[in-house]
Amino acid sequence: MAYKLDEQVPVHFYPEYVLTRFAITVLRGLGATAQEAQIIADGLITAALWWHPGQGQGLEKLLRYQRRVQNGGIVPGAEMRWIKEGPAFALLDAARGFGYVAAHRAMQRAVELAKEAGVGLVSVRDSNHFGIAGYHALYAAKQGLIGWAFTNAKAEMAPWGSAQPVLGTNPWGIAIPRHDAFPIMLDIALSMSGKGMMRWYQRAGQPIPQDWALTPGGQPTTDPNAAMDGPLLPIGAYKGYGLSLISDVLSGVMTGALFGLSVFQDDRHYDVGHLMLAINPEAFMTRAEFERRLGQLIQEIKAAPPIDPERPVMLPGEIEQQRMARRRREGIPMDQETVDRLQKLASDIGVAFPL
């Protein structure tokens, strides 16, 4: 049965277990190992539970994986190797493997290092799109550590004062553990929006907010058609540009991966760079003291009176948590165009299509 998530773009809702099983089946059909398929499917389903389908981070990513596996840009079962390691750092060569898998292994190692040294910093090169940053940061938080994950990306944002894209949206994921509660979880791109949501507005025939993007000539616009070939605008004006630049230095320049105008350009060799950071609060104070102090800060934030009584003050990650709970009850939304494309994908690789 079709529903409407937005006025002009009908969607269908599917149970989480159906989409998870389908994602794993497709990934295995593309040559992923059982472990790789499980990690990637978990990441894709997490994205579908958290975010609007127009952001393009859910099962529609399987279509890109198919193309990139076929052209050699992604190597299933890649022999990733550790190039450098020290007491609190490591560098992973992902060997063109799946980005979700490379980032997951890097954060696992960062957590191990942080439990020993108090902090673990792990960089990755020769990787691919690593999915949603918050997924990797959340792994550290589930281990009781503060997690920070970021990556560079395709040049879609211009340096402040220009209309020539040079930097990526370079997303951040930061997760802070809480005792018996969902972590504080910040998952953001450093642009006001991405091209995925602009395409959704295009399809819906709706104007985009004026602070999302410029025309190729550098003019503000609310027309998604005019904005698609122009630069995305950063969060916080020049501040977001600065954060994107620093992110590319740390995840691109410093890791040995591609950066700036080079990364994400060759579909057969993206050479994306990531950086994973895990921090053990117990390196600085007891766990009980950290939780007490964090709890006090959260109480102070929650006590702030809302401007609109119908919209209470929320912590980063609460909206995603609520959306996840609702979609686990009601189903995960997917638009018909994506369903049709996934059906063709399943047919192409000879796997069953359950949607």
Identify the pLDDT of residue 11. 85
**How far apart are alpha carbons 33 and 79 in whole angstroms?**
12
Which token pair is 100? 């979700």
Res. 2: pLDDT tops 60: no
Task: Say if residues 103 and 278 touch (Cβ distance below 8 Å).
Answer: no
Higher pLDDT, 8 or 241: 241
| Helix and strand totals (H; E) in the chain | 11, 10
The residue-averaged pLDDT of 244-250 equals 98
pLDDT for residue 3 is more than 50? no
Distance, in Å, from the CA atom of 153 to the CA atom of 247, rounded to the nearest integer, reads 10
Helix (H) or strand (E) holding 66: helix 61-70
Residue 168: pLDDT over 60: yes
Q: What integer pLDDT is reported at residue 140 of this predicted model?
A: 98
Beta strands 89-93 and 119-127 are parallel
Q: Give the integer Cα–Cα distance in Å for 134 and 186.
A: 7
Residue 51: band (very low, low, confident or very high) from pLDDT cuts 50, 70, 90: confident
Domain edges within the chain: 1-70+318-355
Map residue 97 onto helix, strand or coil: coil
53-109 pLDDT per residue, tens: 877 789 999 999 999 999 999 999 999 999 999 999 999 999 999 999 999 999 999
**pLDDT-based confidence at residue 19 (cuts at 50, 70, 90):** very high
Geometric angle at alpha carbon 254, from 248 and 257, rounded to 5°: 75
C-alpha to C-alpha distance for 355 and 349, rounded to whole angstroms: 16
Q: What is the mean pLDDT of residues 123-128?
A: 98
Q: Where are the beta strands (DSSP E) in 179-246?
A: 181-188
Q: Does residue 4 carry a pLDDT above 90?
A: no
**pLDDT beyond 50 at 157:** yes
pLDDT of residue 180: 87
Please tell me the predicted confidence (pLDDT) of residue 6. 55
Average pLDDT over all residues of the chain: 95
- Using a pLDDT cut of 90, give the percent of the chain over it: 90
For the cut 50, the answer to whether the pLDDT of residue 1 exceeds it is no
pLDDT band at 8 (very low <50, low <70, confident <90, very high): low
> What is the pTM assigned to this prediction?
0.94
Determine whether domain 1-70+318-355 maps to CATH 1.10.1530.10.
yes
Q: For residue 42, give the nearest of 29, 55, 24 by alpha carbon.
A: 24
Q: Which pLDDT score, from 0 to 100, does residue 107 have?
A: 98
pLDDT bracket for residue 7 (50, 70, 90): low
Element (H, E) at 178: strand 172-178
User: Once rounded to an integer, what is the mean pLDDT over residues 39-62?
Assistant: 92
The Cα angle at residue 187 between residues 247 and 258, in degrees rounded to 5: 30
Sheet holding 332-335, edge to edge: 2-4, 10-14, 332-335
Tens digits of residue pLDDT in 265-317: 999 999 999 999 999 999 999 999 999 999 999 999 999 999 999 999 999 99
User: Smallest Cα–Cα separation from 67: which of 112, 129, 15, 24?
Assistant: 129
Tokens representing residue 151 in the block: 């990556």
C-alpha 302/C-alpha 295 separation (Å) is 10
Phi-psi region of 148 (alpha: psi -120 to 50; beta: other; left: phi over 0): beta
Work out the burial of residue 95: count CB atoms within 10 Å of its CB; fewer than 13 is exposed, 13-18 middle, 19 or more buried.
Answer: middle
**pLDDT for 213 beyond 80:** yes
> How far, in Å, CA of 18 to CA of 41, rounded?
11
pLDDT of residue 57: 87
Amino acid at 70: Q
